[in-house]
Every structure is written in C-alpha cells, then in structure tokens.
Amino acid sequence: MINREKFREQYSYFDKEVVVQIIGILEDEYPVRIETLSETIRNKQIPELRKAAHAFKGMIGNFDLEGDSYRLIKDIDFKAHQLDDEIEKGRILSENEKNQIFEAFSSMLASFKIAMKQLMIDLNEIKSEYLD
C-alpha cells in the first residue's frame, strides 16, 4: 500500500494534472514492462532481465519506496545484477543451475505481479482524488 501522506508530500509542488499524467505513464507502461520481465525470464536472458528490472524499479520508485512492489522489483534487480556481474567475471551456469535460478525469478515475478496490482489500485484511487 502506498503511504498516501508521503505521496502527497512528494507531489505537493506539482499541479494535479501533472500528477494524473505521471500516474497515467505508469498505467500505460505497466503491462509492457511486466511482459518484458516475463519474456526475459522465460527466455533466460540475464542481461536483459537486469536492465528491465532496473528500469522498472526506477519507475516504481517514483511512487512507492516502502511497498511490496518496490521491495520485490528491487530484489529482482539486485539478484539479476549480481548474477550478471558473476557471469561477466567468468561464472558458467549449468543448465540445471540456470533452470533453478529462473524458476526463482519466475516465482519472484509472480509475487511482484500481485503487489503491482495493489499498487495500481492505490494509484487509481489517488488519481481519482486528484481528478476531483
């Protein structure tokens, strides 16, 4: 859940229309970014997962640094970054290891999707307040 007091404080210097537009950007980008994460996990693409998770983390951070959605995408980002660095340094993953790693990412993504649904509900409520 979004800390609404912090949200209002963070966006207190913005016109209501701008806040609505910023929320709208996430609404528009959210399905595409979820699909990108899903695709990179399905295709076991570590560098692409790292980039996609990092970009999504930055977007969510504009709204909620304390919620489950941010915590989960931050965890995906961290683990993908760490794994990508290890591979760049020469670590070779067995097929079994790769499968286990991406099963874990898939599970994390499932939890993240649930948290994102709640974030989007919260943001829609906030958006309707700004439209009044």
How does pLDDT run across 28-87, given as a tens digit for each residue?
999 999 999 999 999 999 999 999 999 999 999 999 889 999 999 999 999 999 999 999
Residue 2 has pLDDT above 80, yes or no: yes
What is the total count of domains within the chain?
1
State how far the Cα of 41 lies from the Cα of 54, in Å rounded to an integer. Answer: 14
* Contact predicate 83/90, CB 8 Å: no
Comparing CA positions, the residue from 28, 29, 48, 26 lying closest to residue 37 is: 48
Q: What is the pLDDT of residue 80?
A: 97
- The residue segments making up the domain with residue 29 are 4-131
Percent of the chain with pLDDT over 90: 89
Residue 132 predicted with pLDDT over 80 = no
Please tell me the pTM assigned to this model: 0.92
